[in-house]
Amino acid sequence: MNKAKQDSLLGVVFFVGLALLLWATYALTDLSFEEKPTIEVFCDNAGTLRQGDPVFVLGNRMGQVQKIDYVPNASDPNSRMKLILELKSDLVLARDAKIDITAANLLGGKVIEIDPGIAAEVWPANLPYQAKLKASGLDAIGELLDDPKLQDDFKETVAGIRTAVDKLNTTDGTLGLLINSDGLYNEFNAAVASARKSLEELEKQQSPLGRLIYSDEDGQKLSDAITRIESVATKIDEGEGLVGRIINDVELGNDAKQLVTDVKDIVADAKAGKGTIGALLRDDGLADKVEKMIDGFSEFATNATDPEAGLVGALVSDPTLREKGSKFISDLEAIGDELRNGKGTLARLINDEDMGEQLNRILNQVSRAIEDAREAAPIGTFFQVLSGAF
């Protein structure tokens, strides 16, 4: 390749690289030969914001910081710094717009974030835009560490940790005993060994719990029991059986509620002295009568077992009289049998209808004879008086 071709190739590469550099400069630095809109924003502190830092509108890069000026004679302390923001296009801010100076990342740097707002009213023309500096995470940690109270608390915490560590090196406290005491250490080992033995017994099914865990048969029994319990619970929910009715039947529940109310009323009446129960609770005279009646029953029961305290006691306690009474009852039963069998005149009178009719006729004739005699009595008396006069 001759020298002319090499120079030509070198020139092409140079101009291509220059074109790429210009394009990158235009794309990455927002380089433009057209005039772009700007807005002025005031703040009390710009932090470490620099010229050329990006401006984001709702997370989208819309420009950069063109200039940062200090306003020494600002009447408002919140307007001591003036920022001129260069935007790619015009931006209309609403009344509730927010402008914040925030950290770009944990390593440092600042960016401006703008929220245009959603209010229908735009930002007043006579009111300057205000930006607020937001502290980064590192700044917040630094301010927190600079707090004297926090420093004192941190010192107390460190002192407490040191005290706890010192106690661990002694036999003060349970943990210190566990670390430094052979006796407690041995007890801990014994507890661990006991727990291991219990686990081995569980695995060998040497206890009800072990069989429940490892035995398929016992597990199936438990599953069946749970199934039956679920079935009973389902029946209760569906209102089957007495318990289900008590829980789910509204009418039965109302009846139970009414019953409780009635019982409350009865108790209230009894406390108020109403009714017999209330009188028993409140009336001392009636209570004395009831007590006397109970004493009488008690005395009667005592006499009923005493053969010398009356007929009942003799019937209960005297064997001879008890035998006579039993014989008397047997005779009554025999008489009753004869009456049912039609034996004797009395039985015939009871069971024979013809004899009953004859007895009825006789009684009627006797009744008429008595009536006739009663009617003839005045005439007989008259003749007796008359004969006595003569």
What's the Rg (C-alpha) of the chain? Answer: 61
pLDDT over threshold 70, residue 350:
no
Residues 6+ apart with CB under 8 A from 150: 144
Mean pLDDT estimate for the chain: 75
Residues 51 and 122 placed together within one structural domain of the fold: yes
Which residue did the predictor score with more confidence, 43 or 248? Answer: 43
Residues 198 and 174 in one domain: no
Cβ neighbours for 116, distance < 8 A, ≥ 6 positions apart: 57, 58, 91, 92, 93, 94, 97
Has residue 163 got a pLDDT over 70? yes
| 339-349 pLDDT, tens digit each | 667 666 666 66
Instruction: Give the least confident one: 48-52, 232-236, 346-350, 377-381.
Output: 377-381
CA-wise closest residue to 238 among 223, 249, 227: 249
Q: Do 55 and 135 share a domain, yes or no?
A: yes
Q: Which residues touch 269 (CB under 8 Å, ≥6 apart)? A: 275, 277, 278
Which residues, 6 or more positions from 331, have their beta carbon under 8 angstroms from its beta carbon? none
More confident residue, 26 or 150: 150
Nearest to 107 by CA among 143, 138, 135: 138
Angle at 88 (CA atoms; ends 84, 94), nearest 5 degrees: 70
More confident residue, 209 or 337: 337
Q: Which residue has the higher pLDDT, 300 or 135?
A: 135
Q: Are 55 and 139 within one domain?
A: yes
Tokens of 313: 């006691």
Report the b/e string of 147-184 with b at 16+ CB within 10 A. Answer: eeeeeeeeeeeeeeeeeeeeeeeeeeeeebbeeeeeeb
Whether residues 60 and 112 share a domain: the answer is yes
CA separation, residue 350 to residues 132, 339, 353, 361 (Å): 127, 8, 8, 16
Phi-psi region of 39 (alpha: psi -120 to 50; beta: other; left: phi over 0): beta
When pLDDT is cut at 50, 70 and 90, the band that residue 98 belongs to is very high
Structure tokens at 5: 């071709």
Q: Are residues 91 and 157 in the same domain?
A: no
Higher local confidence (pLDDT), 307 or 112: 112
Question: Could you give the CA distance from residue 305 to residue 315 in angstroms, rounded to a whole number?
Answer: 9
Task: Supply the pLDDT for residue 390.
Answer: 47
Average pLDDT of the segment spanning 330-340: 73
Any residues with CB less than 8 A from the CB of 165 and at least 6 apart, and which? none
**Confidence (pLDDT) at 351:** 67
Separation CA 354–CA 155 (nearest Å): 129
Greatest CA span in the chain, whole angstroms?
215
Do residues 66 and 38 lie in contact, with contact meaning Cβ atoms separated by under 8 Å? yes
Please name the amino acid found at residue 164.
A
DSSP tag of 98: E
pTM: 0.34
pLDDT at 42 over 70: yes
Q: Does 116 lie in the same domain as 54?
A: yes
Residue 372, domain member (yes or no): no
Q: Say whether both 132 and 71 belong to one domain.
A: yes
Residue 226 lies in a domain: no
Is residue 237 in a domain? no
Q: Is 389 a member of any domain?
A: no
Where does the pLDDT of residue 158 fall: very low under 50, low under 70, confident under 90, or very high at 90 and above? confident
Q: Tell me: do 132 and 110 sit in the same domain.
A: yes
Predicted local confidence at residue 97, as pLDDT: 93
Query: Is 111 in the same domain as 64?
Result: yes
Residue 260's pLDDT is what? 82
Question: Does residue 325 fall inside a structural domain?
Answer: yes
Mean pLDDT in residue range 227-253: 73
Confirm whether 303 is domain-assigned. no
Distance CA 49, CA 131 (A): 12
Q: How far apart are CA 294 and CA 206, in angstroms?
A: 62
Q: Are residues 80 and 123 in the same domain?
A: yes
Boundary residue ending a domain (161, 180, 199): 180
**Given the structure tokens 């923001």, which residue do they identify?**
85
CA distance 364 to 209: 97
Q: Is residue 95 part of a domain?
A: yes
Question: Within a domain: residue 48?
Answer: yes
DSSP conformational letter for 170? T
Range of the domain at 132: 37-144
Given a cut of 50, is residue 366 above it in pLDDT?
yes
Q: What is the pLDDT of residue 231?
A: 78
Collapsing DSSP states into helix, strand and coil, what is residue 23?
helix
Element (H, E) at 172: none
The mean-pLDDT minimum among 51-60, 157-166, 315-324 falls in: 315-324
97 and 163 part of one domain: no
Number of domains in the chain: 4
Calpha distance 375→284 (Å, rounded) = 66
* DSSP single-letter state for residue 352: -
User: pLDDT exceeding 70 applies to what percent of the chain?
Assistant: 62
